[in-house]
Structures are given as structure tokens and as C-alpha cells.
Chains A and B, each alone.
Chain A
């Protein structure tokens, strides 16, 4: 079949030129749609600031970054302490309310016991060569993870944006987090 002989019976059909233009248009749209969202995305909301609960969001964030994901971690309430340069180095662990810990609640509630359980955990972390919270934050930042500190809770806790690690985004709220979650392939609340 010759390419330059249009079918005479199809007068109302679109011309070759029209079809070619339409194909170009669709190819452009496809290229745009696939290139724009090439990288997968993960959005984590970090709400807890105890030593044990600081780990999961940071481990998942750095690992996802290693997979090539665009990662955003939105920190709110006690989760802000993970990003707080001073407080992140002194996150505490309590046995109160955790029946898996070797200390009975009645004992765990005594003054000074949180320091004891925290010391125990810190020793285990050091003995096992587990990364520290600070290391995980620095590593994640190096890998391009975006850490966001919720503005409303910064104000509520009387923190200052200078308290956070360099590279932490401040001045963001729930709408920013929601937009990230809507765009993400994986969304987690920790």
C-alpha cells in the first residue's frame, strides 16, 4: 500500500497530517507524564520522639533514598525532637507502659528509671554498632532526604528553627504533608 495515496472512500476521516499531529501530541504528553514522575516517592509522618521510635522513620528514609526514592519525612509533635540538634542526642526510652521491657511498671515509674533504661539501650546500640540517630540524620540528609519540621508544633513546643539540623525545612504544615502523601507511592505514619 502506497503511503501517499489516501483512501478516497474515507472523505470524513482525519487526514494523514492530522493523524500525525495527533500522534506527536500524544507522544509528547506520554513523555512528559513518564519523565516528570520518574522517581518513586515515599512520605513518612514522624510523630514520636522516644529513642526506640526515632529509628524506624530514619532507617526507612535512608533505605528508600538508597533505592532512589524521593523521600520526605514530616516531623510533628515529639517527632520534632529527632530533628532537634541537641535533643536528638538525648532521646529517652521509658519502660513505663512497655511490658516487653525487663523492668516492672511500678519500678519503671520511679524517678531516674528512664535514664537507666535509656543507658541500657544506648549501650546495646553501641555494642551492636547500630547507627546513632545523629548518624542516620546526617546520612539521610547527604542522600537527599527532605526532613520537614511542622511549623505549628515548632511554635507549640517553643522551639526555634535554628534548633534543627542544617538542611531541615521549616515553615510547613499539614497541607504540605498531605500533598506529599497524595503524590507518594508509600505513605507511613510512625
Chain B
């Protein structure tokens, strides 16, 4: 069970950012996390030493979080935080 003082969520790192995941998490690009209540997107990025210029596309539950909102965006239980460097396709 989640403690009332923590939130459980998943950090998903794709493309070249997958190198920042532990080996066992790279297969699914997904790292489960349990973090103190009130943790923000910006804090997760900092805790995992993700270079800011590589955090181009940042989605929480599929919704884009603009750079200026990341420091203040509080994460909730079951959130999926997915991050990509600059990528494109077509």
C-alpha cells in the first residue's frame, strides 16, 4: 500500500534518455518510483540527473508539461511521467 506520505508513479525514459534508467528498467523503458508526497516533475528530472536540454518532450499521463510548469507540477499516485529528448518522425 502507498503510505499517505508518498506517491507511487512510473518514470518512463525513451530514446537516448533510456541510458539513464537502471539496466533492469530499460527493457520496458519504465521505472516504478515511490516518492514523497508533493514531488514535482522538476524534482524527478533532477534526481535522475537528466540533462535539461534532453528533457524536450515531457508528458504526464500523456499531457505535455511546458518547461516553465515542470518545477511546480506536483505528481500524483499512478501518474506516468514520460520524457523524450528532441525527436521527430513521420
A-B complex is real: no
B interface residues (Cβ-Cβ under 8 A, vs A): none
A interface residues (Cβ-Cβ under 8 A, vs B): none
